[in-house]
Amino acid sequence: MNRVRNYFWRVVVSLIFAAGLWATVVRFTRGLGGATHLSDSFPWGLWIGFDLLCGVGLAAGGFAIAATVYLLHLEKYRPILRPTILTAFLGYMLVIAALMYDLGRPWRIWHALVFWNPRSVMFEVAWCVMLYTAVLALEFSPMLWERLGWAPVQRVMRAVTIPLVGLGVILSTLHQSSLGSLYLIVPTKLDPLWYSPLLPLFFFLSSIAVGMAMVIFESGLSARAFGKALELSLLKQVARVMAVTLAVYLLLRFQDLVWRGVLSQVWTARGETALFWLENALLAIPMALCFSGRLRSNPQGLFGCAVLVVAGFLANRLNVSVSGLQRSAGAPYFPSWMEIAVTLTIVAAGFVLFNLAVRYLAVFRPAKYDAVTVGVPEGTTPLRSWL
């Protein structure tokens, strides 16, 4: 049975990669216009709305858990640390990969280093992506050094971990909120159900909630795939943090509608209204469920809640970046199959890389992290098996 399932997933991933390869060839020989449904009236589509906005958000667990373990010294969360950092690192690498498709002239991505415009939110976003990817690479690297048995490098890494984690927290806060700030400049274009001066705060809060959801989600997947899961008691705590963050977020979200005097619009019969309720129901239902102690003790229930929160988060980001802008654009946008193929390829690549990392690095069973270990950590496949 397990074999059949593995075979099935291999076929699916291969098909996705084949479609993605085809789309890649079209994108880089026929230009953005040949591969996407983007236009002058709809210049940002799925690659910005999903790959960038959602990719960065889903990686938010990385800074939150790193801060919990290293800055708050809550040692019990250490087992979550490595899978979360790995997710964040892979997430950011994949965001950069997506940017290479979306930028009109991707080979000039370094221009933001040389030509400065500090008044641009996009400039802030570019610097956050670059710096935080570097920080994540360093935070992830101990898994590699330990694997290679490079003790001196491990010692250096341990010395700089604390300032590095602090830097990561600041950069992430800036980055998560700045993705919301990107849309502050379109007050007349973005639908009032989503346009708010509080967009940066909303993006930050929801990213923390979805970061927690991703911790639970990955633990569930890993339990199934590798038989490696996190302790239920820890996940229950993570779920509680998630529920409280969501409660604060949703309270502010509706209060903001009142402040801006657009609360009445949540009842008008429009497509936007349905999407608004879908998004908020997907966040409110798991929030309510996670406040119940009984549900939190049920691994399947926790996993289900995490999936709902991730779905609600994706709905929110796609509403801000796509559905909320359709009406003012005057031209409908729906991604081309090639845009979808590239996005699926990037998601699939994330799963494959995570899988490889879990197999060959000590992601779920860190060998005594603070002691310098030499040799193959327990519970991982010897390196030569995939060479």
Partner 1 sequence: MRALLVDITKCIGCGSCVAACREQNRLPVPADGSWPSQPDAQNFTVLKKAAWKGEEYNYRRLCMHCLTPTCESVCPVGALRKTAQGPVVYDESRCIGCRYCLQACPFSVPRYEWTSLEPRVRKCNLCEARVAEGRPNACAEACPTGATIAGEREELLKTARARIAAEPEKYVSHIYGEHEAGGTSVLFLSPIPFEKLELPAGLMAEPLPLLTFRVLSKIPHLVATGGALLAGVWWITNRRQEVAAAEAAEKEKQP
Among 14, 117, 233, 297, binds partner 1 (CB under 8 A): 117
Q: Which is nearer to partner 1, 113 or 148 (CB)?
A: 113
Among 120, 255, 297, 381, binds partner 1 (CB under 8 A): 120
Q: Which is nearer to partner 1, 42 or 92 (CB)?
A: 42
Please report whether residue 109 would count as binding partner 1 according to CB under 8 A. yes
The answer to whether residues 145 and 136 touch, using CB atoms and an 8 Å cutoff, is no
Please report whether residue 70 would count as binding partner 1 according to CB under 8 A. yes
**Of 34-63, which residues contact partner 1 (CB under 8 A)?**
34, 38-41, 43-44
Q: Cβ of residue 263: shortest distance to partner 1, in angstroms?
A: 20
Q: What is the distance between the terminal CA atoms of the chain, rounded to a whole angstrom?
A: 28
Among 1, 3, 4, 105, binds partner 1 (CB under 8 A): 105
Binding mask 141-180 for partner 1 (x = CB under 8 A): ---------------------x---x--xx--xx--x---
Please report whether residue 318 would count as binding partner 1 according to CB under 8 A. no
Binding mask 226-265 for partner 1 (x = CB under 8 A): ----------------------------------------
Among 5, 10, 30, 158, binds partner 1 (CB under 8 A): 30
Q: Which is nearer to partner 1, 128 or 349 (CB)?
A: 128
The amino acid at 270: R
Q: Which is nearer to partner 1, 200 or 377 (CB)?
A: 200
Q: Which is nearer to partner 1, 78 or 228 (CB)?
A: 78
Task: Encode the chain in three state secondary structure.
Answer: CHHHHHHHHHHHHHHHHHHHHHHHHHHHHHHHHHHCCCCCCCCCCHHHHHHHHHHHHHCCHHHHHHHHHHHCCCHHHHHHHHHHHHHHHHHHHHHHHHHHHHCCCHHHCCHHHHCCCCCCHHHHHHHHHHHHHHHHHHHHHHHHHHHHCCHHHHHHHHHHHHHHHHHHHHHHHHHHHHHHHHHHHCCCCCCCCCCCCCHHHHHHHHHHHHHHHHHHHHHHHHHHHHCCCCCHHHHHHHHHHHHHHHHHHHHHHHHHHHHCCCHHHHHCCCHHHHHHHHHHHHHHHHHHHHCCHHHHCCHHHHHHHHHHHHHHHHHHHHHHHHHHHHHHHCCCCCCCHHHHHHHHHHHHHHHHHHHHHHHHCCCCCCCCCCCCCCCCCCCCCCHHHHC
Please report whether residue 225 would count as binding partner 1 according to CB under 8 A. no
Q: Cβ of residue 44: shortest distance to partner 1, in angstroms?
A: 5
Q: Which is nearer to partner 1, 159 or 162 (CB)?
A: 162
**Contacts of residue 181, Cβ cutoff 8 Å, sequence gap at least 6:** 121, 124, 199, 200, 203
Q: Cβ of residue 111: shortest distance to partner 1, in angstroms?
A: 5
d(CA 349, CA 98): 12
Binding mask 123-142 for partner 1 (x = CB under 8 A): xxxx----------------
The answer to whether residues 293 and 207 touch, using CB atoms and an 8 Å cutoff, is no
Please report whether residue 294 would count as binding partner 1 according to CB under 8 A. no
Q: Cβ of residue 280: shortest distance to partner 1, in angstroms?
A: 24
Among 5, 10, 76, 111, binds partner 1 (CB under 8 A): 111
Please report whether residue 304 would count as binding partner 1 according to CB under 8 A. no
Among 55, 83, 200, 366, binds partner 1 (CB under 8 A): 200
Distances (CA, A) of 47 to 44, 79, 103, 275: 7, 33, 10, 20
Among 144, 153, 184, 266, binds partner 1 (CB under 8 A): 184
Q: Residues binding partner 1: what is the number (CB under 8 A)?
A: 56
**Of 353-372, which residues contact partner 1 (CB under 8 A)?**
none
φ and ψ at residue 260, rounded to 5 degrees: -85, 0
* Residues lying near partner 1 in the complex (CB under 8 A): 28-34, 38-41, 43-44, 67, 70-73, 102-106, 108-109, 111-112, 115-126, 162, 166, 169-170, 173-174, 177, 181-182, 184-189, 197, 200
